[in-house]
Amino acid sequence: MSTLSSPHSEHAGTGRELRRRRIRQNWGHPWLYVPLAGALLLMIAPFLWMLSGSFKPEADIRRVPPVLIPTKPSIGNYSELFSRLDFSSMFANSVVVALAVTAGNLIFCSMLGYALAKLEFRGRRSVFVLVIATLMVPGLVTFVPLYVVVTNLGLNGSLLGLILPFLAAPFGVFLMRQFISTLPDELIDAARVDGCRELAIFWKVILPLTKPALATLGIITFLGSWNNFLWPLVVAQNEDQYTLPVGLALASSGQDFTRFGILLAGAVVVLLPVITVFLLFQRHFVAGIATTGLK
Amino acid sequence: MSMSTHPGQGDTRVKSAAGPGRTIRPADRRRFALRHTTTGRQARAAWILAAPFLALFAAFMLLPVVWSLLMSLTDTKSADLRTPLNVSFTGFDTYVRIFQDEQFLTALRNTAVFVLVGLPLTLAAGLAAAVVLNNGIHRFRAVFRVGFYLPVITSIVAVAVVWKTLLEPRAGLVNTALGWFGIDGPAWLADTRFALPVMIVMAVWRNLGTVMIIMLAGLQSVPNSLMEAAELDGAGPWQRFWRITFPLLRPALLLTAVTTGIGYLQFFDEPFVMTDGGPLDSTLSATMYAYRQFGNGNYDAASAAGYVVFVLIVALTTLQFRVLRDKD
């Protein structure tokens, strides 16, 4: 069957030709795998280096030339991280902040996204344009006034100061609106005819259908919050409010700045949860970004 | 059988996708007036749904954006933190002052180099990865896709720690690998010639995955029949790419160019965690300059520098839309 579609089908005589074509069909261009594998190695080399370094005792880490695989692997770096540097409470803070920010964005962005996609009201276009335009505002522009606001509200002594400014992100509205726009209007009209109230339509009809978009937004928001460091670095005043990136940033510029083993173990603790989340949900994630981006 | 239902569904989707951009003609307006109870109910529901987001948005986005502009037009310092309204209006003095500051000009130059070199490199690398994964190979696509995307999701603080040890002049992996080829690698982050290029390489590494994913989606919308027809007509792979694939990728290219450009003009994370703007300000960016002014208590100068970056972003985005938008 497939030979029919090939423009070179008349040459399909010899067995060698046939085999080559089968390889081509199953694998594409076989020689491309070599540069691709090289590129892949370059892309993930920093992660392998990090993983290996985090298990190296101090004697190994400074060796010239460096050893790629630790000669005497130890978990000493990790235990010091959690016992002396209090990474467990930072870990808990990171989780709390990221979950709160994610929950807020899922709720608020899908509500406004639905209104902008499907409901008729005056000012709909202006609201959309206004929200989207702020995607161009640099973080540093809002940084200073936000600092003044949060300080005057007395929020920089609590985790709330790390959560509140990030609860409603314009990007989420864009993503949810784009996705909800693709749902058929008939669903909503039918629900109206059945006497379903407007807010119930959102809750019972629309929200269950937006699960793929919610998954994408949830993962993106969680990762963004988990990796956020500048705001928490400036706002968090006491050690009991530090998030993981703050703890790691302070460790790498503090007294431990030459203790590469500990710092690399810290990097693993920061990266491992997001890499796990990503590997588990990468299908959702990739599909969501790709489709919402292009519509 | 079921074929006949498809065009209808397609039509409604197109109509609803036109969304808020749709203009309301007088005839429509009359019809809406007749159904004013439904639209009234819809409008009420819409504002109820919009209210929580808009309240947070007003407090933590709109207010700061306006306030920041006002700060840049007054002499607000950190001493005014508790009494932020007790300041005097100074007009554009702050802007004049930062443009006379040699350090800010250096920062703008570094940002320009970073964007002008980094943005095309990132787009090209992401596009190349997408084309090879989509057209070149058929096995292990997911492995390469995940691997190339991995740096995107990682914390810059953690990545900085890792890269610093990689680039360590003596015990680092990079200079060791260069040593295998007899090359004596420099002290990358302490050398004014290499620090900024290292930041660019890092940014390409961290961002090409995003470009690749969006380009991959764009490539999947290129119809196979079109490519086969071109192949039958004797078009080579190179011709097929530039004449068919590339024009069809224009929306994906616009999207990635705009979002990456917005991010790159705010170039901050890499120098902040790797070099602190050094050596000798060779990696100082415009947003880092703003942050330094904030740290020194000059809230007016910090806001002004932030607004300069804002204007640059609007300009670059407008330019990209002009150049890359579909010309029908």
Tens digit of pLDDT for each residue in B170-212?
A: 778 888 888 888 888 788 888 888 889 999 999 999 999 989 9
Residue A3: inside a domain: no
Residue A145: inside a domain: yes
Residue A189: inside a domain: yes
Q: Are residues A70 and A121 in the same domain?
A: no
Reported pTM = 0.82
Residue A6: inside a domain: no
pLDDT, tens digit, for every residue of A138-190?
A: 888 898 888 888 888 888 878 888 999 999 999 899 889 988 988 888 888 89
Of residues B56, B172, B232, nearest to A7 (C-beta): B232
Give the number of beta-carbon pairs within 8 Å between A and B: 329
Kindly list the residues from chain B whose CB atom is less than 8 angstroms away from the CB atom of residue A107. Answer: 52
Q: Which residue has the higher pLDDT, B101 or A282?
A: B101
Amino acid occupying residue B308: V
Domain boundary among the residues A25, A47, A75 is at A75
Residue A156: inside a domain: yes
* Min Cα–Cα distance to chain B from A260, Å: 7
Which of A5-14, A121-130, A206-215, A237-246 shows the lowest per-residue confidence on average (mean pLDDT)?
A: A5-14
Chain A residue whose CA is closest to B264: A138
Domain of residue A171: give its range: 80-294
Q: Are residues A28 and A134 in the same domain?
A: no
CATH number at residue A90: 1.10.3720.10
Q: Are residues A70 and A99 in the same domain?
A: no
Domain boundaries in chain B? 25-65, 98-324
Residue A2: inside a domain: no
Q: Residue B65: what pLDDT?
A: 92
- Which overall architecture, per CATH, does domain B98-324 show? Orthogonal Bundle (1.10)
Q: Are residues A116 and A147 in the same domain?
A: yes
Q: Are residues A156 and A19 in the same domain?
A: no
Of residues B21, B153, B157, nearest to A248 (C-beta): B157
Residue A235: inside a domain: yes
Residue A271: inside a domain: yes
Q: Are residues A164 and A18 in the same domain?
A: no
DSSP state of B80: G
8 Å CB contact of A294 and B60: no
Q: Are residues A85 and A182 in the same domain?
A: yes
- Strand partners of residue A28: B137
Q: Are residues A50 and A84 in the same domain?
A: no
Kindly list the residues from chain A whose CB atom is less than 8 angstroms away from the CB atom of residue B15. Answer: 185
8 Å CB contact of B150 and A49: no
Kindly list the residues from chain B whose CB atom is less than 8 angstroms away from the CB atom of residue A148. Answer: 67, 81, 84, 299
Q: Are residues A62 and A116 in the same domain?
A: no
Tell me the two tokens of residue A272: 């491992």
Q: Are residues A141 and A98 in the same domain?
A: yes
8 Å CB contact of B160 and A252: yes
Q: Are residues A191 and A283 in the same domain?
A: yes
Number of domains in chain A: 2
Residues whose CB is less than 8 angstroms from the CB of residue B243 and which lie 6 or more positions away in sequence, other chains included: B230, B235
Q: Which residue has the higher pLDDT, A197 or A75?
A: A197
- Beta carbons of A110 and A207 less than 8 angstroms apart: yes
* Min Cα–Cα distance to chain A from B193, Å: 23
Q: Are residues A124 and A184 in the same domain?
A: yes
Kindly list the residues from chain A whose CB atom is less than 8 angstroms away from the CB atom of residue B225. Answer: none
DSSP characters over A32-91: GHHHHHHHHHHHHHHHHHHHHHHT--HHHHT-SSPPSS-SS---HHHHHHHHTS-HHHHH
DSSP state of B84: T
Kindly list the residues from chain A whose CB atom is less than 8 angstroms away from the CB atom of residue B173. Answer: 45, 49, 66
* Average pLDDT taken over every residue of chain A: 83
